[in-house]
Amino acid sequence: MTDYRRLRVALLGAGAVGSQVAALLRKHGDELADRAGAALDLVGIAVRNPDAPRDVDLPRELFTTDAEELIVGADIVIELMGGIEPAREQILLALGSGADVVTANKALLATHGPEIFDAADQVGASVYYEAAAAGAIPIIRPLRDSLAGDRVQRIMGIVNGTTNYILDRMDREGSDFGDVLADAQALGYAEADPTADIEGYDAAQKAAILASLAFHTAVPLEAVHREGITQVDKQMMDAARHAGFVIKLLAVCERLTGQPLENGAESPTGEAISVRVYPALIPREHPLASVHGANNAVFVQAEAAGNLMFYGAGAGGVQTASAVLGDVVSAARRHIAGGVGVGESTRANLPVLPIGRVTTRYQITLEVSDEPGVLATVAGTLSDGRVSIATVEQTVITEGNGEPGVARIVIGTHRALEQDLSETVDRLAASGVVGRVVSVLRVEGD
């Protein structure tokens, strides 16, 4: 084996991903050295309990509870603990002592990204985070580097495997949300506390990271509009299928032009962005519609490149370890090559619009009393609210016995402003003729 310069690699955390990273670093050490141009010595693994059971066998002497001692003196620090603290403070310590950092910590980057990137800039170090969005799918480098000369218009991502698994099974089996969730928990696809996944928090963190890269703008997590999938039921799934759609939890990052901004603010270029996570209808023939199970996919529309899609496993210990190790090799190559790290590109600094300023198409499902003039009232309310109707389908659900029965109206709208739509739906709900607003779903990708 070539006599390579040796780099000291410290690992923080040995959970599902961390233990695989440690195992692969040891198993493929020679091969990785050939690729990196440097020997990667795993010098220690910091954990809370060195004697806890692990997914893979690792030598006991690698483990330590003293993260600080391990970090100081390392060339590359891999942070796979997750959570905000102590991950944040240990990453700052690593950067401060001259190490490059590899992390898969989406929660931390989505909330403290600018602080961490600034700290790296100060010392000319680099932060790598390919595993922080969409697991094993290479999406960070394509956005950060390959598309750096293009203008991304829109990203639509299925970036949470758990919710895609649940929605896909509901779609394919006609099952109920609760049943599939319970099954997903039993099979290990969903956590005991599934909130982060099913309420869209995980997807929102990834959306903030993807939008920051795509639009060269530090997007704070609070600016991401977030809705989960707990309201999606069998009835909505059936209606979507009937209309040629499938419901997916989407992370949508969009560049908007020509919109006046609120409170007098205006971007220098007249552009703004929107970042949002919600269950949306997408046409069956859209490439994202055929992303099944716990897989992820990111669909990117760019001005010059056109439509691109990146598809693969969105989670899993060994899959995510692949992305982490790619970053470790990149960090090692940079160490050998010299020079300072390339900072994050956030100079576009575009304003993030609130959800009310976004326009999409909608599908509104109402239960109304089946009597003359109801459709006219509904149509009039929509028109008054600047919501233009594209398609209408009315079906009788319950025949009345002398009294008015119940009918269902499904309305597909043209593109409408979310604020207009939302106010209009409130007026419909309050009108005497609408018994129940069954669902309001955005339509994306058509």
Interhelix angle 201-215/106-123, nearest 10 degrees: 30
For its own copies, which residue of 325, 352, 368, 409 counts as binding (CB under 8 A)?
A: 325
Please confirm, yes or no, whether 206 is among the known catalytic residues.
yes
Among 186, 265, 304, 430, indicate the residue that binds its own copies (CB under 8 A).
Answer: 304
Q: 281 Cβ partners below 8 Å, 6+ apart?
A: 240, 243, 245, 246, 247, 363, 441, 442, 443, 444
Among positions 235, 307, 388, 398, the unique one binding its own copies when judged by CB under 8 A: 307
Is the sign of the CA dihedral 298, 299, 302, 305 positive or negative? positive
Return the residues of window 278-297 that contact its own copies according to CB under 8 A: 287, 290
149 touches its own copies by CB under 8 A = yes
Asked whether position 333 contacts its own copies by CB under 8 A, the answer is yes
Q: Does 319 bind its own copies (CB under 8 A)?
A: yes
Q: Of the candidates 97, 233, 310, 438, which one interacts with its own copies according to CB under 8 A? A: 310
User: Whole-number minimum distance, CB 323 to its own copies, in Å?
Assistant: 7
Select 186 or 304, whichever has its Cβ closest to its own copies.
304
Q: Please answer whether residues 184 and 166 qualify as being in contact, where contact means their C-beta atoms are separated by less than 8 angstroms.
A: yes
Cβ-based nearer residue to its own copies, 115 or 145: 145
Interaction between residue 347 and its own copies (CB under 8 A)? yes
Q: What is the DSSP string of 213-251?
A: HHHTS---GGGSEE--STT--HHHHHHHHHTTEEEEEEE
Which of residues 20 and 363 has its CB atom nearest to its own copies in the complex?
A: 20
Residue pair 295/70 in contact by the 8 Å Cβ criterion: no
For residue 21, how many C-alpha atoms fall within 13 Å in the half-sphere facing its CB? 34
What is 292-318 written as a DSSP string?
Answer: -TTEEEEEEEETTTEEEEEEEE---HH
Closer CB to its own copies, residue 18 or residue 312?
Answer: 312
In the block, tokens 């039993």 appear at 186
Binding residue (CB under 8 A) for its own copies from 56, 93, 305, 406: 305
- Which one of the spans 104-112, 148-156, 227-235, 371-379 is the region binding its own copies (CB under 8 A)? 148-156
* Residue 113 in the binding site for its own copies (CB under 8 A): no
Q: Exposed e or buried b for every residue in 91-114, given b needs 16+ CB within 10 A?
A: bbbbbeeebbbbbbbbbbbbbbbe
Does 311 engage in binding with its own copies (CB under 8 A)?
Answer: yes
59: Cβ contacts below 8 Å, ≥ 6 apart = none
Strands 295-302 and 39-46, by their bridges, are unpaired
Minimum gap (Å) between residue 328 Cβ and its own copies:
6
Across-strand partners of 7?
40
Question: Which parts of 27-86 interact with its own copies (CB under 8 A)?
Answer: 28, 31-32, 34-37
Residues near 106 by Cβ (< 8 Å), separated by ≥ 6? 129, 132, 133, 202, 205, 206, 209
Of the pair 147, 440, the CB lying nearest its own copies is at 147
CA angle 429, 432, 436 (to 5 degrees): 40
Residue 136 touching its own copies (CB under 8 A): yes
Please report how close the Cβ of residue 145 comes to its own copies at its closest, in angstroms.
Answer: 5
Rule CB under 8 A: say whether 172 interacts with its own copies.
Answer: no
Residues near 168 by Cβ (< 8 Å), separated by ≥ 6?
Answer: 292, 293
Sole window of 57-65, 318-326, 399-407, 420-428 interacting with its own copies (rule: CB under 8 A): 318-326
Nearer CB in complex with its own copies: 129/177: 129
Min dist. Cβ of residue 365 to its own copies (A) = 30
Kindly tell me which residue out of 65, 122, 146, 383 binds its own copies, with binding defined by CB under 8 A.
Answer: 146
- Pick 31 or 193: Cβ nearer its own copies: 31
Tell me phi and psi for residue 3, to 5 degrees: -90, 85
Total binding residues toward its own copies, as defined by CB under 8 A: 65
The interface with its own copies within residues 223-262 (CB under 8 A) comprises none
* CB 32 to its own copies: min, Å: 6
Give the total residue count for the chain. 446
Q: Is 379 helix (H, G, I), strand (E, B) or coil?
A: helix
Question: Using only C-alpha atoms, what is the Rg of the chain?
Answer: 25
Residue 183 φ/ψ, nearest 5 degrees? -65, -45
Footprint on residues 392-421 left by its own copies (CB under 8 A): none
Nearer to its own copies among residue 24 and residue 358 (C-beta):
24
Instruction: Give catalytic residue positions.
Output: 206
Residues found near its own copies in the complex (CB under 8 A): 2, 20, 24, 28, 31-32, 34-37, 130, 136-138, 140-142, 145-151, 216, 287, 290, 302-313, 316, 318-319, 321-330, 333-334, 336-343, 345, 347-348
